[in-house]
A and B are shown apart, each in its own frame.
Chain A
Amino acid sequence: MPLTDPNVYPDKTLDWMAYFNHKRRDALAHAATPEVIAEHKNDPSGSKARHSSKLQALLIYLRMQPVDGKAFVYVQEPHRKYCIGLMNGRGETPRILEEQIFASEKEAIHAVFLYRLRALKLLKDDSEAER
């Protein structure tokens, strides 16, 4: 059958990605344990000790997520004032969440970590984040 209109052929990779993301998310559904969250809170960059394999798997998953809506650390004042921002894609204005201000980049990085976990419904109980 001849092909006449490029717009009628969807990218079938999306079918696979829906399945893959579902499986990957399921595999990590219980990964955000209080221990893993505490590990990240204490050392978000892994500078004191190398991150555990459980935390590393979670971090790679979070970093691989699409850009739209992805949380990042926004610098309000270098080394003094940070908050969370949400990327809206190329050419779009990000949304800045100014209600929560962090005095250090380290705190803000952990807040972004928790925000992404929540957004992906990987944080079952917010009390885990507070421990």
Chain B
Amino acid sequence: MNRLGIRGYCDRPNVAPHDDISFHVSCDEPGPYKARLIRVVNGDLDPAGPGPNYTHVSSSIDGTYEGEKHRTQIGSFVKIPDPDGRLVGAGSFSLHVFVWVTTPRPRQGILSRWNDRDSAGWALTLEDGYLTGSAGDGERTRVVRSDKRLFAETWYSVVLNIDGSGGRLSLTQTTVRNSVNGRFGRIVPLDSDTCAVSTLDITPCAQDVPVVVAGFAESAGMPGWVIADFNGKIDSPKCFGAVLSDSEISQLAGGLMPNAALLAHWDFASGVEKAGIPSDDVTDVSGSELHGVCVNQPDRGMTGWNWTGKEENFIHCPEEFGALWFHMDALDDCRWPSAFRFTIPAELRTGVYAVELTKGSHVDHIPFFVTPIRGTATASVAVLMPTFSYLAYANTQVLQYVPGQVIMGIFATLNDRDLELNEAWREYGLSTYDLHSDGRGCQYSSWRRPILNMRPDYRHEFGAVWQFPADLHLIDWLEARGTKYDVITDHDLVDQGTSLLEQYKVVMTGTHPEYYSEEMLDAWEDYLDSGGRGMYMAANGFYWVTSLHPRKPWVIEVRKGESGDQAWRARPGELHHSTTGERGGLWRNRARPPQKLWGTGYTAHGLDVSAGYVQMPDARDPRLAWMTKGIDTHETIGNFGLVNGGAAGLEMDRIDYALGTPPHTQLIASSHGHSQNALLVPEEQYFVSPGIDGIQDSRVRADIVYFTTRNGGAVFSVSSMAWCGSLSDNNYDNNVSELTGNVLDRFSSDEPLDPLE
């Protein structure tokens, strides 16, 4: 983590006048750095385009600050304060846990009250694949180690007896398998149950460290770093003030509670309600009130040791979903101290902004969005910046994995930000396109970390501008043509719903609003149904079910599966969101395909070459003369552009009446000329077959469509992620710009659209 010199993040993506925003900065070397506020119009460095366009805005941010390097707590775990030392482990003490490891190496903490610097306390760990129990008094350590390594993704019931009175440490591991709860069926003849015993002639003693599930304390006191993070599931950890007998150990392995002195029992499913378990709280149900808190968002709502496979939604049967899945590379907040804060001045114009950080030759930009004062609009046009989708893609590293380049049909072109993400991936956290180090898909993504691929000048490893820098092409076009617009975000839409959209004559999407919550879909549907006008400047939008963490609005949750263009697939029984309880996956599979709102929905991706659109008969419909004004009947639309040479490309949508395309939809134009690397998306395939590419399959295309709604409303969809990359061609004088401008002018007028029949 030393290529970039300086990097930072802000605590929220969207602010309105009078709101406060905090910035957090870490430098590789100590020393001063400069910060200033800039307004961002365009960042694309492509010499064929208009070029970067930043304007310094004088503000209280401007100045020189003292930089330092901040450590980041990485890895998910549960921390349970025990200030009174009730679980210190002296005398007769034992612990029980169900555990399901995913990467038996390296050293990992499972359940501990351990000070690693002083080797003091007690800990159940995994060492070279073997369960290990340790007790230390700060000077001496005693260890008991299993003689059988754990099989991955297999549930074990584990008891560690710390018998100070009897002078024994004993460790018992018992497999608890059924047909569905792990990797192996019951027919695999595992011989993995065992019991190990060693002598205990010391009294474990650790002051001022918490109990930790999935790690242990680096040292006593503050700041309380947790190390040896764990990969895998842990279910129902408990502590007893007694040594457990063989029969009691058997009872625990069967899910029964022995009649022993229970000191603590953390039930990770406690708190599950109809709306999921949108909380970091961990409840001690023993009555001891030794409650804990999750750090770095372990996966919640996970199938537990006793999952039977009969119920797939954790809210219906929480007793079988008592596991947390921990990852040693999880990150929900860097938690760096604030470097400086900024209160948005009342006079600051709505728009895209960034704080520019400069330290020597190193520069970073931290983007954020300034909206109008809540409940007000300053223009008739709004651009809805897809902040959910920015989060979903935050710090993706797709091309550094084997399939990525085949999917994209390109070789990787990587810059220093990509390399830093690869070298220090744990420091930056993952995107919902990445796999955790144990192969589990990353289902949470956080704003509170440097998002290196959400920078104005970033060219994505996919080979083109993508998401935020691509959306700046739209901002740049609006600025170039002098259109007054407000900037709003997905986060505002969740917060304010339809009332946000209803302030505008027309709302334009960004280039790839792929991640959507139910509230956001509802808001659009209400808006379009009540006379609003929507311009879908994108493709593959409104696709994945996405939820915002109700208590941590900087975190989104996504569960991919069972179909779709998937980076990973949720495991059986784990498709429901922990933060809402709703079914994840595609909106299409929840009866809300994008065709219902926009006329088109995701059909193909083609990331190597883009194409132009051929006009269809509806383009000559005299009722649409206002739309095609200035465009010759035979012109190919958008056979040029900054994104792979065409306006139709990257990802594309098409009409599908069976999926809800309104019957009166006008098909203005469809793209043609895609490559053999442009392919039909998985949810469109049933039996697999050859020939599903841009040359041979008619469904690999983008459709430009238009239809009207009630009360003078209308929808215009370009159905391509590459569209906005063509707006600036020939100094903004081109048919993509013309068509977009015609629609925008008509949609932003007071006059209702003539209803199509």
Using a CB–CB cutoff of 8 Å, the interface residues on chain A facing chain B are 1-7, 45-47, 50-51, 56, 59-60, 62-67, 71-75, 78-79, 82, 85, 87, 90-94, 105, 108-109, 112-113
Chain A residues, CB < 8 A from B425 = 90-91
Chain A residues, CB < 8 A from B426 = 91
Establish whether residues B609 and A46, one from each chain, have CB atoms under 8 Å apart when the complex forms.
yes
Select one of A2, A47, A71, A112 contacting B191, CB under 8 A: A2
Q: How far is the CB of B189 from chain A (nearest CB, A)?
A: 5
Closest residue on chain A to residue B674 by CB atoms: A50
Within the assembled complex, what's the spacing in Å between the Cα atoms of A92 and B645?
34
Of the candidate stretches B235-243, B266-274, B414-422, B540-548, the one touching chain A is B414-422
Within the assembled complex, what's the spacing in Å between the Cα atoms of A6 and B645?
52
Q: How far is the CB of A70 from chain B (nearest CB, A)?
A: 8
Establish whether residues A109 and B676, one from each chain, have CB atoms under 8 Å apart when the complex forms.
no
Instruction: Check A92/B401 contact, CB under 8 A, given A4-B191, A63-B406, A74-B414.
Output: no
Establish whether residues B608 and A79, one from each chain, have CB atoms under 8 Å apart when the complex forms.
no
B19 within 8 A of A: no
Q: How far is the CB of B39 from chain A (nearest CB, A)?
A: 22
Establish whether residues A79 and B413, one from each chain, have CB atoms under 8 Å apart when the complex forms.
no
Establish whether residues A47 and B423, one from each chain, have CB atoms under 8 Å apart when the complex forms.
no
Select one of A50, A72, A82, A113 contacting B412, CB under 8 A: A72
Chain B residues, CB < 8 A from A4 = 148, 190-192
Q: Which 7 A-B pairs have the closest CB atoms?
A: A2-B191, A63-B405, A73-B413, A75-B415, A72-B412, A63-B406, A78-B45
Closest residue on chain A to residue B401 by CB atoms: A67
B410 within 8 A of A: yes
Within the assembled complex, what's the spacing in Å between the Cα atoms of A78 and B46?
8
Give the most central of B148, B405, B645: most A CB within 10 Å.
Answer: B405
Number of B residues, CB within 8 Å of A: 47
A46-B608, A109-B410 known; 9 other A-B pairs, CB under 8 Å? A2-B189, A5-B149, A6-B149, A50-B609, A59-B409, A67-B400, A79-B47, A91-B423, A93-B419
Within the assembled complex, what's the spacing in Å between the Cα atoms of A51 and B409?
11
Establish whether residues A3 and B191, one from each chain, have CB atoms under 8 Å apart when the complex forms.
yes
Q: How far is the CB of A121 from chain B (nearest CB, A)?
A: 19
Q: How far is the CB of A113 from chain B (nearest CB, A)?
A: 7
Q: How far is the CB of A11 from chain B (nearest CB, A)?
A: 12
Chain B residues, CB < 8 A from A112 = 411
Select one of A78, A93, A109 contacting B415, CB under 8 A: A78
Instruction: Check A45/B609 contact, CB under 8 A, given A63-B405, A73-B414, A78-B459.
Output: yes
Within the assembled complex, what's the spacing in Å between the Cα atoms of A131 and B424?
41
B42 within 8 A of A: no
Within the assembled complex, what's the spacing in Å between the Cα atoms of A40 and B149?
51
Establish whether residues A72 and B191, one from each chain, have CB atoms under 8 Å apart when the complex forms.
no
Q: How far is the CB of A116 from chain B (nearest CB, A)?
A: 8
Establish whether residues B676 and A51, one from each chain, have CB atoms under 8 Å apart when the complex forms.
yes
Chain A residues, CB < 8 A from B129 = 6-7
For window 29-48 of chain B, which residues contact chain A by CB distance below 8 Å? 45-47
Within the assembled complex, what's the spacing in Å between the Cα atoms of A50 and B403?
21
Chain A residues, CB < 8 A from B45 = 78-79
Select one of B149, B401, B414, B459 contacting A7, CB under 8 A: B149
Chain B residues, CB < 8 A from A73 = 411-414
Establish whether residues B609 and A47, one from each chain, have CB atoms under 8 Å apart when the complex forms.
yes
B363 within 8 A of A: no
Within the assembled complex, what's the spacing in Å between the Cα atoms of A82 and B413?
9
Chain A residues, CB < 8 A from B608 = 45-46
Within the assembled complex, what's the spacing in Å between the Cα atoms of A66 and B406?
12
B210 within 8 A of A: no
Establish whether residues B422 and A94, one from each chain, have CB atoms under 8 Å apart when the complex forms.
yes
What 1/0 flags go to B650-693 for Cβ under 8 Å of A? 00000000000000000000000001110000000000000000
Establish whether residues A47 and B190, one from each chain, have CB atoms under 8 Å apart when the complex forms.
no
Closest residue on chain B to residue A56 by CB atoms: B676
Chain A residues, CB < 8 A from B412 = 72-73, 87
B695 within 8 A of A: yes
CB-defined A-B contacts under 8 Å, sample of 25: A2-B191, A3-B189, A6-B104, A7-B129, A46-B609, A62-B411, A63-B405, A64-B403, A65-B402, A66-B402, A67-B402, A73-B411, A74-B419, A75-B413, A75-B416, A78-B415, A78-B459, A79-B46, A79-B47, A85-B414, A85-B419, A87-B400, A90-B397, A91-B424, A94-B422
B152 within 8 A of A: yes
Closest residue on chain A to residue B46 by CB atoms: A79
B150 within 8 A of A: yes
Within the assembled complex, what's the spacing in Å between the Cα atoms of A46 and B649?
14
Establish whether residues A63 and B411, one from each chain, have CB atoms under 8 Å apart when the complex forms.
yes
Establish whether residues A92 and B423, one from each chain, have CB atoms under 8 Å apart when the complex forms.
yes
Chain B residues, CB < 8 A from A87 = 400, 412, 422
B591 within 8 A of A: no
Select one of B152, B413, B676 contacting A6, CB under 8 A: B152
Chain A residues, CB < 8 A from B410 = 45, 109
Chain A residues, CB < 8 A from B14 = none
Within the assembled complex, what's the spacing in Å between the Cα atoms of A112 and B459?
19
Chain A residues, CB < 8 A from B406 = 60, 63-64
Establish whether residues A90 and B422, one from each chain, have CB atoms under 8 Å apart when the complex forms.
yes
Establish whether residues A45 and B644, one from each chain, have CB atoms under 8 Å apart when the complex forms.
yes
For window 171-224 of chain B, which residues contact chain A by CB distance below 8 Å? 188-192
Instruction: Check A2/B644 contact, CB under 8 A, given A45-B410, A91-B422.
Output: no
Closest residue on chain B to residue A50 by CB atoms: B675
What 1/0 flags go to B383-410 for Cβ under 8 Å of A? 0000000000000010111110110011
Establish whether residues B190 and A2, one from each chain, have CB atoms under 8 Å apart when the complex forms.
yes
Chain A residues, CB < 8 A from B415 = 74-75, 78
Chain A residues, CB < 8 A from B554 = none
Establish whether residues A3 and B190, one from each chain, have CB atoms under 8 Å apart when the complex forms.
yes
Q: How far is the CB of B184 from chain A (nearest CB, A)?
A: 9
B314 within 8 A of A: no
Within the assembled complex, what's the spacing in Å between the Cα atoms of A100 and B15?
47
Closest residue on chain A to residue B423 by CB atoms: A93
Establish whether residues A47 and B645, one from each chain, have CB atoms under 8 Å apart when the complex forms.
yes
Chain A residues, CB < 8 A from B424 = 91
Within the assembled complex, what's the spacing in Å between the Cα atoms of A51 and B608?
11
Within the assembled complex, what's the spacing in Å between the Cα atoms of A51 and B151?
47
Chain A residues, CB < 8 A from B423 = 91-93
Within the assembled complex, what's the spacing in Å between the Cα atoms of A82 and B412?
12
Q: How far is the CB of A8 from chain B (nearest CB, A)?
A: 10
Within the assembled complex, what's the spacing in Å between the Cα atoms of A51 and B715?
37
Chain B residues, CB < 8 A from A93 = 419, 423
Establish whether residues A50 and B676, one from each chain, have CB atoms under 8 Å apart when the complex forms.
yes
Within the assembled complex, what's the spacing in Å between the Cα atoms of A109 and B406?
15
Chain A residues, CB < 8 A from B190 = 2-4
Establish whether residues A6 and B609, one from each chain, have CB atoms under 8 Å apart when the complex forms.
no
Chain B residues, CB < 8 A from A113 = 411
Within the assembled complex, what's the spacing in Å between the Cα atoms of A4 and B149?
7
Establish whether residues A72 and B609, one from each chain, have CB atoms under 8 Å apart when the complex forms.
no
Establish whether residues A1 and B411, one from each chain, have CB atoms under 8 Å apart when the complex forms.
no
Q: How far is the CB of A120 from chain B (nearest CB, A)?
A: 14
Chain B residues, CB < 8 A from A7 = 129, 149
Establish whether residues A5 and B148, one from each chain, have CB atoms under 8 Å apart when the complex forms.
yes
Q: How far is the CB of A7 from chain B (nearest CB, A)?
A: 6
Establish whether residues B400 and A6, one from each chain, have CB atoms under 8 Å apart when the complex forms.
no
